[in-house]
Chain A
């Protein structure tokens, strides 16, 4: 074994492999099933989904109204749903305006609309973000290089096992001639969390 593979991570990797082998012997898991479910998950869950939702909402007022009043009912219009997990989670989409900015968090753990945003980044799950964004959201936004005007009110939405949130960012100025696909390309994962303008 080379030195590169020594250390705690290697030990952990070996322990995970050992556990998988034990569970396979007991017939509780199947390695191929594991690979398949992981591939399916990674193929399905992407921030491109959230970006499509936002672009449609920017272009279609009717869709935006339906999305804001009942996101779970509106998502199927784009072939999306919050039913990816073991149970359907309620989604509430919160709209940024000139007066109000929204940020999402899960202070207790890591609840996140994975189906629309993809796997969450490590910082979202960190005690640093979870503890501080509810106490001083403006300071946390600044750490992302996002200076929010003092006149704008900040709303922080704390997700739970049953309810997830997604931010609908403001449409950037000068994008009147862009089509839906080009608009979606302007939307970032951080914008959907609320730590970036879009």
Chain B
């Protein structure tokens, strides 16, 4: 069965909108999420296939309504909890 990320050919999505002069990151936190993921991959906390899988098994409604780096952040926290590195409670506090 395909998952929600498998959107090729799916109908009903709106026209493509291009943002003029789009920056590489829209906010500092996005750049931090990007760098954080690179570091965790490099240190072998999880691998790239696990990271992709964590994004692609997101509940469809969450997948479709989250921004790109929101999905990344969510996937990172899911993997850190599953790997026993940090608990959801620790990550939620603060």
**Cβ A15 vs Cβ B22 within 8 A:** no
A-B contact count (CB 8 A): 138
Number of interface residues of B (CB under 8 A): 52
Contact residues of A between 93 and 141, Cβ < 8 Å to B: 105, 107-110, 118-119, 121-123, 125-135, 140
Q: How far is the CB of A33 from chain B (nearest CB, A)?
A: 7
Q: A18-B91, A19-B76, A33-B39 are in contact. Are A9 and B29 (CB under 8 A)?
A: yes
Which of A13, A21, A23, A107 is in CB contact (< 8 Å) with B8?
A107
Docked complex Cα distance between A28 and B91 (Å) = 15
Q: A9-B27, A19-B76, A22-B86 are in contact. Are A122 and B19 (CB under 8 A)?
A: yes
Which of A22, A42, A105, A158 is in CB contact (< 8 Å) with B90?
A22
Chain A residues with CB below 8 A from B40, complex form:
23, 28-29
Docked complex Cα distance between A105 and B8 (Å) = 9
Docked complex Cα distance between A135 and B11 (Å) = 9
Q: How far is the CB of B82 from chain A (nearest CB, A)?
A: 15
Q: A131-B7, A134-B9 are in contact. Are A34 and B16 (CB under 8 A)?
A: no
Number of interface residues of A (CB under 8 A): 50
Q: How far is the CB of B21 from chain A (nearest CB, A)?
A: 10
Q: How far is the CB of B8 from chain A (nearest CB, A)?
A: 3
**Cβ A22 vs Cβ B22 within 8 A:** no
Chain B residues with CB below 8 A from A121, complex form:
18-19, 22
Which of A20, A41, A126, A128 is in CB contact (< 8 Å) with B36?
A20
Q: How far is the CB of B12 from chain A (nearest CB, A)?
A: 8
Chain B residues with CB below 8 A from A26, complex form:
85-86
Chain B residues with CB below 8 A from A16, complex form:
29, 32-33, 36, 73
Query: Which residues of A come within 8 Å of B, CB atoms?
Result: 9, 12-23, 26, 28-29, 33-35, 37-38, 41-42, 86, 105, 107-110, 118-119, 121-123, 125-135, 140, 143-144, 158, 161
